[in-house]
């Protein structure tokens, strides 16, 4: 009897771990390109944790890890717009709406809608993001693209460069997840 209880406990513990997926090398692309100038940055070290049982999704982005093509653009992004010394992190905490319809053991592409709170530059807003979960070989990859209005997050664009920077930023997220240890 003791052995049976131990076996069940071990099985529960194993399945409990298998229901969480994570990565620390997720990707977020940022674009505020206007008709005048290409402004694009990428961060390839995004931490992402998905609970496949509850649908809870957490992303943590260290804003200073964004890389831009030009040094000056990178400096302006960190110092003038995102103020990364004051607000080093951007986070998303939400829930995948249709988690029960995603079969993490079956290859396929599953459309999904995620509701949650997006915190950027010290401002937190409720957002709804449409995306998809691509399952391949029991590993899910999350993909989503959405736009945010920079003024919603109190990101000010100075007058002289107002025409060079788009008022809304296009954000694309891609996280190839692995079962959590």
Partner 1 sequence: MKRKFMYALVALAIAGLGALLLRNYVNKPNKDFVNEKIDFSYSCKDLLEKTSSDTAAATQLLNHLVGVDGEVLHITQDDNALTIELGSSSSNSSVICRIDDRHLDDFKQTKVGDRISIKGEITACSAEDELGLGSTIQMNFCSINK
Q: Is 87 in the site for partner 1 (CB under 8 A)?
A: no
**Given 19, 33, 34, 45, the residue binding partner 1 (CB under 8 A):** 45
Q: Which residues fall within 8 angstroms of residue 113, CB to CB, at 6 or more apart?
A: 96, 97, 98, 128, 129, 130, 131
Q: Is 71 in the site for partner 1 (CB under 8 A)?
A: yes
**Given 7, 9, 15, 44, the residue binding partner 1 (CB under 8 A):** 44
DSSP code of residue 81: I
CB of 172 to partner 1, least distance (A): 10
Q: Is 74 in the site for partner 1 (CB under 8 A)?
A: yes
Q: Is 49 in the site for partner 1 (CB under 8 A)?
A: yes
Burial of residue 42, with CB atoms counted within 10 A of its CB: 0-12 exposed, 13-18 middle, 19 or more buried: middle
Under 8 Å between Cβ of 95 and 114? yes
Can you tell me the distance from the alpha carbon of 88 to that of 124, in angstroms, rounded to the nearest whole number? Answer: 14
Chain residues that interact with partner 1, rule: CB under 8 A? 22, 24-25, 27, 42, 44-45, 47, 49, 58, 60, 62, 64-65, 67-72, 74, 88-89, 174, 176, 178, 180-181
């Amino acid at each position: 009897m003791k052995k049976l209880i131990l076996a069940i406990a071990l099985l529960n513990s194993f399945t409990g771990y298998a229901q969480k997926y994570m990565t620390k090398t997720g990707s977020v692309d940022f674009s505020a390109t206007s008709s005048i100038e290409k402004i694009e940055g990428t961060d390839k070290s995004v931490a992402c944790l998905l609970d496949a049982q509850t649908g809870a999704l957490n992303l943590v982005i260290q804003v200073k890890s964004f890389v831009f093509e030009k040094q000056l653009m990178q400096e302006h992004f960190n110092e003038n717009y995102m103020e990364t010394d004051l607000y080093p992190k951007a986070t998303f905490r939400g829930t995948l709406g249709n988690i029960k319809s995603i079969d993490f053991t079956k290859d396929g592409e599953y459309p999904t809608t995620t509701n949650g709170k997006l915190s950027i530059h010290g401002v937190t807003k409720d957002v709804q993001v449409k995306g998809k979960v691509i399952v391949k070989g029991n590993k899910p990859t999350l993909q989503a693209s959405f736009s945010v209005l920079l003024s919603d997050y109190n990101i000010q664009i100075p007058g002289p460069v107002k025409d060079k920077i788009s008022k809304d930023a296009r954000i694309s997220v891609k996280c190839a997840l692995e079962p959590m240890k």
